[in-house]
A and B are shown apart, each in its own frame.
Chain A
Amino acid sequence: MSIRHSLLALLQDQPRYGYQLRVEFEDRTGSTWPLNIGQVYTTLDRLERDGLVSNDGGDGEGHVVYSITDAGRAEVQGWFATPVERSNPPRNELAIKLALAVTLPGVDVAAIIQAQRAASMRALQDYTKSRRDTAANQRAADTAWLLVLDSLIFQTEAEIRWLDLCEARMVQLAQASGTRSQARKPSNGVTAEEAAPRTAENRR
């Protein structure tokens, strides 16, 4: 997440001081990515150094107010106009964990998958409830928060679907090796095949 660009974008709205920026950011993103105030001040210092914001001095109540410069506006415009960079490919701890798990002996991959699925489902339940509650009495400021929630819901749903797929692949693999060694019967005649339709590969 680009704190730098987020703060700049908020300053394009109106001049603000550090604490206001933090509150505004968290309010618009439902506190999903908490900012610590130290990060805000460090970022403002750098933005000032780079000529993207200017320090307007105190507001008389001990706050240092910043406003955006023309260079800063251009920077924000560039940020909005550029697709988010995908680190190549994005690091995904879960994918890494499972990739290692399937290649190591003595790791119960099915248990890992199920534990993760239940945890992801819990998160999805919470997001869904939160979305429902927010939508039920929506304020104007909630629009941003609802979008963030939708994004979390899509991501978590995709994660669960991917886990289902991993599990189906595992069943497929186990079945293929079982067929090769002993024509072992799956515990309940149908499950494995229906969960993961046979491919030409494991029919061999």
Chain B
Amino acid sequence: MSVQGPQQVLELAKVSRTFGQGATAVAALRDVDLTINAGEFVAVMGPSGSGKSSLLALAGGLDRPTSGGVFVESTPLAGLGLNALARLRRRAVGYVFQDFNLVPTLSAVENVALPLELDGVPARKAHRQALDALRQVGIPGLADRFMDEMSGGQQQRVAIARAIVGSRRLILADEPTGALDSTTGHGVMEVLRSRADDGAAVMLVTHEARHAAWADRVVFIRDGRIVDEATAMHDPAVLLAPAG
């Protein structure tokens, strides 16, 4: 057996984030420790305002902690300049924003291909990978539509395609099923699960237990602290599939 442990893709070490100062300061996160390994799918659940989006933003390098360290594939984000950080985000991190954050003047496939092209992937190859990502989220036929020609649910799927395109090793998704019907939501979970099974580290913020249940670990957050965790047991005594 290998002595080396599983490969850590994301590590949050004693991370705190406080917004504002003095009497009006809000401690959004307090001393959070969280590690996600390659191939692991972690869901984050908690009431509104408990710090889920703040946690995801720190993990994706979109925000910096007030104290503590964030490491992506062992690189401390605090040590990176803006350009290096932007490059790491494009290459290694796929991020699904709660409000999609798509470019309205680009078509669906162009939105998805954009991070690849910014990263120097040849246009034709980026286009091919973008189409593949759109296929995975179930909307290959909408590749040439612009954002104002799509429903909220369809835009959400474009946003998810943009996060999984290429070979991102860390996928962060903030309530990615909010605008989706339950069948489509299920499809998105299948996509995230299969990315994890292919070796990516996935962190999903959701308030839907049925979606969180696709994860290997479910982390519960309250008032900016991780208060509990549920890890699937896959206990054959509890669940015995019919004998084949």
Contacts and interface: CB of A to CB of B under 8 A. Distances in A.
B177 interface: no
A145 B242 contact: yes
B50 A191 contact: yes
A26 B213 contact: no
A108 B184 CA distance: 39
A130 interface: yes
Which applies to chain A's interface (DSSP): helix, strand, loop or mixed? helix
Contact of A31 (B50, B216, B218, B240): B240
Interface residues of A, number: 42
Interface in A120-143: 120-130, 132-134, 139, 141-142
B206 to A, nearest CB: 12
Nearest to A31: B240
Contacts of B231: 122, 125
B61 interface: no
Interface stretch (B87-95, B101-109, B132-140, B219-227): B219-227
Nearest to B216: A125
A187 B218 CA distance: 24
Interface of A: 26-28, 30-31, 114, 117-130, 132-134, 139, 141-142, 145, 153, 156-157, 160-161, 164, 167-168, 187-191, 194-195
Interface string B132-158: 000000000000000000000000000
A174 B240 CA distance: 43
Given A122-B232, A124-B209, A125-B215, A27 B224 contact: no
A122 B223 CA distance: 23
A117 B223 CA distance: 17
Contacts, number: 103
Contacts of B84: none
Contact of B209 (A27, A126, A161, A168): A161
B210 A117 contact: no
Nearest to A133: B241
B179 interface: no
Nearest to A139: B244
B214 A128 contact: yes
Nearest to B51: A188
19 contacts: A30-B241, A31-B240, A114-B228, A118-B228, A118-B229, A118-B230, A121-B209, A121-B218, A126-B232, A126-B233, A126-B234, A132-B193, A161-B209, A167-B47, A168-B47, A191-B48, A195-B47, A195-B48, A195-B49
Nearest to B215: A125
B58 to A, nearest CB: 17
A160 B223 CA distance: 19
Contacts of A190: 26, 49
A122 B220 CA distance: 12
Nearest to B235: A126
Among B26, B220, B231, B242, the one with the most A-chain Cβ atoms within 10 Å of its Cβ is B242
Contacts of B1: none
